[in-house]
Structure 1
Amino acid sequence: MYELSRRASCALRKHGLRKGDVLAIISPNTLDYPIIQLAAMAIGATITAFNPLSTPKEISYLLNDSGARFVILHPFVIKNYEAAENKGVDEKFVFGNVDGYTSISSFYEEDDSTFMVDETIDVKEDVAMMFYSSGTTGLPKGVMLSHRNINSIFGMADVINELHPIFFVGKVCFGLLPFYHIYGSILVLFLRMVTSKKLIIVPRFDPEGFLAAIQKYKIEMLNLVPPLINFLAKSPLVDNFDLSSVSSVFSGGASLSPEVGQLAASRLNLQLIYQGFGMTETTGACHFPPPGKRIDTIGYPLPSMECKIVDSESKKLMGPNEVGELRVRGPNVMLGYWKKPKETSETMDEDGFLRTGDIGYYDDEGLFYLVDRIKELIKYKGYQVAPAELEAILNGHPAVLESAVIGVKNEEAGELPRAIIVKRPNQDVTAEDLITYVNEKVSPQKKLRGGVIFVADVPKLPSGKILRRALREQYGKA
């Protein structure tokens, strides 16, 4: 991989990629993914990556917002890419072979004798990677991560490995989670590389293929999201495969039900399913679970991290077992949001702590727990879905007077987006009409799987802010 990344880096230089440029990848997981990431970062370029199921409109927005001059695509993404307008890309490449696109396979024939790591890279300030995280405004924000941010996660992992070797005992890991997501890229792909693990990479989840791969490759470590753990806990397919090689399972991306976690652990003959806590803004992680503790805790802060619980209204610092907003500070906290200084300043407090937007507390042992989210994001299978984005689409329908979108609890997916609709007078529209209207305009994780409910009015504060808690209480049942 090192040799191939050197060759690819030299090829990208020849094509004009320079320090400070942005290179976008739109692809499912492939073996080439980490090679390109390493190649571009050696130049001092910024890597960004998007969901390969993004719609043409989403691709257009993300490419324009990121300012990507170069893009690498998987063949099945090309149709949506070409349908996207105003892309602003200088050069396009492809994993594989497609007419009109330069194949990255040609990069691997490049002479690497001129390879060099750009010595002017500022590891603290230069952006190595940029992951897009949805916000309550509905438009995804680019989270800027420096080389130092990323390396700090690996340093923290070294300390944890010394304290709790159980987290790193397995030598064969599963590269199932998407590499365009912070969890899959940093905590699975890169962390497993720097800890010298074998990583079995697959492009997408397929129930039987997932189980067959565990059996065939004797996978020992699984990094999963709650819907996949729910699958392990309840699917009858599991009984058809030998999963005895699995020695540890880690959950992230969304909160895992303790009941589901224990069911999965029992089925796999494990003591626990471990879950920590992190955000894109913390380079994927900020808390880790101690071995043998309860599954409902997110654990202790990572080494070198500081955490505090603050009353959101009074700003008072809270003590043990007192509930407030979790705020964190450390070398893994992002540089900020790309081209959004206002949002960046609103996210950081006066002491440089990141406002996580999550409500929680810590106990007398220093273990942290989350009890609710301030933020209004819906979490579907670990993906973030912004209600405002769906509301903007719904409000564009001629029969819709106003709308609100909430998450409906679902054991398999976490939450499903549900629309609460006030129709315009004398307009005839069905729930199916609106579901189709939205689903044709968004990527799969944003579809209105929770359905549509028609109401007389949407409760709001005098300021116009939607009272989502009231809506969830009244319409949030499955």
Structure 2
Amino acid sequence: MFRPISPTPTVDKFPNDPIFNQLAKLSRNVTGVIVHDRYVLREQLPLEWFDSKAVFRPEAKPIAILALSGYYYLVSFLTLLALGGKCVPLPCEGRLEDTAYYLYKSGATHILIEPNTSKRATDIKDHVVMSGYLLREIEVQHVKSGSEKYSEIEINEDLVFPESRPAMVIFTSGTTGKPKGVVHSRLRFYFDGELDPKTHHLSYRPVHWMASALIPLRRVLQGGKITFLRSGCADPVILWDVLKEGFVTSLAIPPSLSKLMHDYYLTTIRHLPVEYHDRYLCLGAPVRGAVIKLSEGDTGELLVKTPGMFTHYLDDEEATRAAFDENGFFKTGDIFRRVGSQYYFEGRKSHDWVQFTAFKISTMELEYRLLALPYVSEACVLSILDYEAGELPAAVIRIKDGVECEITLRKSCESWQQEKSYLVPFQERR
């Protein structure tokens, strides 16, 4: 855990909240330690940021984190949480212009780095200084287990932060405009479960991605383990190989990667002998405390509410209002259908549907149907404007190498006529 070295006894202690109360239990019950010196961090930040209890004032600026390693990320984040601060995870690669935007938008002027990100940090600092923006680096030290005698965590019963206090700002991908700063409060990270040393989370995304920033801390508080793959390792073959080892109990994947993993299963794993095939099978469980519903009953946009859900977008009241319904449910933009207790993803509300007269056509469904044809190797469905119908689905397909096509696409799709006649092509070009 953390071992502060400040000479003031009260300052040495940790906040009284579900995060550090749980860490206090773990410091006595779980082997393995993470050490970081909060006192040193205080010395390198502006004095006016701290109050008489030596923790951040509410108006203090956030601290950016540039971490390639999950270890450094967790150490940095927990250190800031202990001080009542908020962090801004930054990407370790990509355009400097994007990273600069995250800094400008959040107002972060200090950045916690590790040895492997020092060059990237220098590049960022050199880039923003051209705009007159000053950025200071603070390197996080790695203290090995067993190198010192670790003290147990002590809780300051009087040091209580509001659960609504901001703890993290994560920037969205910006698929519908400029990235928005999603603000998560301390409540998002409160732990109310039981110890589960058997839990083992697989994290493969860089830590500035939502799942990689939020989930690992919960696994630490459960007393479990985390395997961090090399950042950006989103290869379905590698992920399947890790899953077949049987130690992973949780994994967060987006729909796009889920499709790739499903395709690899259909083309490769499904055809393996039973004794090998069964090694790949795994089960998941819904997130505890999450309430979900669909906007139109058994179908429609997925609406979600959780106790620790993000509270607002940074400095964007209009986007915040648009993101929630009247009952406080977050509008995900994902379209699902429910069959019994199971939910099936059908696409994105804004990009994966074509409004053809009165019909809503799923581009994903149409692509799946085209890919099921024996002579099609690739398919891409797009929406094109039409004066009469509003929109028309247009498909571009690639014929498999070595296949001579003597049948038209329209003829191949005649079996769709009775089920969904509006999907049958009416015009074909080669």
Which TM-score band (shorter chain)? Answer: 0.5 to 0.7
Partner of 1:131: 170
SS of structure 2 residue aligned to 1:52: coil
Aligned equivalents of 1:87, 1:37: Cα separation in 2? 27
In the alignment, structure 1 residue 370 sits paired with structure 2 residue 374? no
Counterparts of 1:387-406 in structure 2, within 5 Å, are: none
RMSD over aligned CA atoms reads 4.2
SS of structure 1 residue aligned to 2:255: coil
Aligned equivalents of 1:461, 1:8: Cα separation in 2? 63
Aligned equivalents of 1:268, 1:191: Cα separation in 2? 31
Partner of 1:272: 281
SS of structure 1 residue aligned to 2:254: coil
- Give how far 1:28 is off: 1.2
| Contact 1:325 1:356 (8 Å CA) reproduced | yes
| Contact 1:42 1:117 (8 Å CA) reproduced | no
SS of structure 2 residue aligned to 1:135: coil
Cα 1:90–1:52 change in 2 (3 A) is closer
SS of structure 2 residue aligned to 1:12: helix
Deviations 1:57-78 (A, max 9, x none): 1121110011112112312313
Partner of 2:3: 3
* Alignment match of 1:183 (pick from 211, 236, 250): 211
| Contact 1:360 1:370 (8 Å CA) reproduced | yes
Partner of 2:409: none
Aligned equivalents of 2:243, 2:282: Cα separation in 1? 18
Deviations 1:124-143 (A, max 9, x none): x2111111112343311111
Partner of 1:306: 291
Cα 1:77–1:375 change in 2 (3 A) is farther
| Contact 2:90 2:208 (8 Å CA) reproduced | yes
- Give how far 1:91 is off: 2.6
SS of structure 1 residue aligned to 2:37: helix
Cα 1:12–1:340 change in 2 (3 A) is same
Cα 1:116–1:14 change in 2 (3 A) is farther
| Contact 1:26 1:50 (8 Å CA) reproduced | yes
| Contact 2:245 2:279 (8 Å CA) reproduced | no
| Contact 1:172 1:198 (8 Å CA) reproduced | yes
In the alignment, structure 1 residue 44 sits paired with structure 2 residue 84? yes
Partner of 1:331: 307
In the alignment, structure 1 residue 260 sits paired with structure 2 residue 264? yes
Partner of 1:353: 329
- Give how far 1:259 is off: 4.4
Q: What TM-score, normalized by structure 1, do the two folds share?
A: 0.55
Aligned equivalents of 2:282, 2:255: Cα separation in 1? 14
In the alignment, structure 1 residue 14 sits paired with structure 2 residue 57? no
| Contact 2:70 2:228 (8 Å CA) reproduced | yes
Q: Can you give the 5+ residue segments of structure 2 that lack an aligned partner in the other structure?
A: 5-33, 50-55, 353-362, 369-377, 400-430
| Contact 2:173 2:179 (8 Å CA) reproduced | yes
Cα 1:3–1:259 change in 2 (3 A) is same
SS of structure 2 residue aligned to 1:84: helix
Aligned equivalents of 1:303, 1:171: Cα separation in 2? 14
Once superposed, which parts of structure 1, at least 4 consecutive aligned residues long, lie more than 6 Å away?
111-118
SS of structure 1 residue aligned to 2:235: helix
The 10-residue stretch of structure 1 (44-53 or 174-183) with the greater mean CA deviation from structure 2: 174-183
Deviations 1:276-312 (A, max 9, x none): xxxxxxxxxxxxx44xxxxxxxxx5x4433222114x
| Contact 2:63 2:87 (8 Å CA) reproduced | yes
Aligned equivalents of 1:203, 1:138: Cα separation in 2? 29
Q: Which has the larger radius of gyration?
A: 2
Cα 1:71–1:343 change in 2 (3 A) is same
Aligned equivalents of 2:197, 2:265: Cα separation in 1? 21
- The percentage of aligned residue pairs carrying the same residue is 17
One-letter amino acid of the counterpart of residue 28, structure 1: L
Aligned length: 315
Cα 1:14–1:57 change in 2 (3 A) is same
Cα 1:76–1:375 change in 2 (3 A) is farther
Q: What TM-score, normalized by structure 2, do the two folds share?
A: 0.61
| Contact 1:136 1:376 (8 Å CA) reproduced | no
SS of structure 2 residue aligned to 1:193: helix
Aligned equivalents of 2:327, 2:157: Cα separation in 1? 35
- Give how far 1:170 is off: 4.1
- Give how far 1:355 is off: 0.8
Deviations 1:348-405 (A, max 9, x none): 11121111111112223x322221111449xxxxxxxxxxxxxxxxxxxxxxxxxxxx
- Give how far 1:174 is off: 4.5
- Give how far 1:248 is off: 4.7
Aligned equivalents of 1:149, 1:46: Cα separation in 2? 13
Cα 1:347–1:251 change in 2 (3 A) is closer
In the alignment, structure 1 residue 28 sits paired with structure 2 residue 78? no
In the alignment, structure 1 residue 81 sits paired with structure 2 residue 124? yes
The 10-residue stretch of structure 1 (328-337 or 174-183) with the greater mean CA deviation from structure 2: 174-183
| Contact 2:201 2:249 (8 Å CA) reproduced | no
Deviations 1:158-195 (A, max 9, x none): 5xx9xxxxxx67466555432222212322x2122112
Partner of 1:196: 223
